[in-house]
Amino acid sequence: MGKFLRLTDKATNKTYTLEFNRKAVETMERQGFNISEFAEKPMTTLPALFRGAFLMHHPAIKREVVDNLFDKVSNKRELINKLAEMYTETLDVLLYDDENDENEGKVEWEASF
C-alpha cells in the first residue's frame, strides 16, 4: 500500500486524505511543478506540493480551502518532508526493485543519521 497521510481540520472537523497517484504528479508537472526546484524556490514549490496532494482524493476542493489549510497546518517542515517522500514514491517504485537488486552486496553503505 502506498504512503498517504490524513489531515484533520479541527475548525470544520473535516478529514482529508493526502496521497499522490501518477495522474496527480502528471497534472502538477503540466502546471509547472518541478520537484528539483524544491530547495531553490521553496515559497512556490511547497504550497504547490501541498495542493497537489489533494488531487487524488479531493479533486474538486477549492484552492482557497487548501491554501487556508496550508497556512494553519502545524509542523510544516515534517509535513513537507513526508509529502516529498510520498511524491517521489510514485517514481521510486518503478525504478527500484528490492527483491531483485543486482548490485546487492557489491558496494555497501551506511548513514550516520
Applying CB under 8 A, among 30, 62, 77, 106 the residue interacting with other proteins is: 30
Kindly state the smallest distance separating residue 77's Cβ from other proteins, in Å.
23
Applying CB under 8 A, among 48, 52, 79, 90 the residue interacting with other proteins is: 90
Neighbouring residues of 90: CB distance < 8 A, sequence distance ≥ 6:
20, 21, 22, 25
SS3 per residue for the chain: CCCCEEEEECCCCEEEEECCCHHHHHHHHHCCCCHHHCCCCHHHHHHHHHHHCCCCCCCCCCHHHHHHHHHHCCCHHHHHHHHHHHHHHHHHHHHCCCCCCCCCCCCCCCCCC
Kindly state the smallest distance separating residue 14's Cβ from other proteins, in Å.
23
Kindly state the smallest distance separating residue 112's Cβ from other proteins, in Å.
22
Applying CB under 8 A, among 5, 72, 76, 93 the residue interacting with other proteins is: 93
107 lies in the binding site for other proteins (CB under 8 A): no
39 or 94: whose CB is closer to other proteins?
94
Q: Write out the residues near other proteins by the rule CB under 8 A.
A: 1-2, 20-23, 25-26, 29-30, 34-36, 56, 89-91, 93-95, 97, 99-100
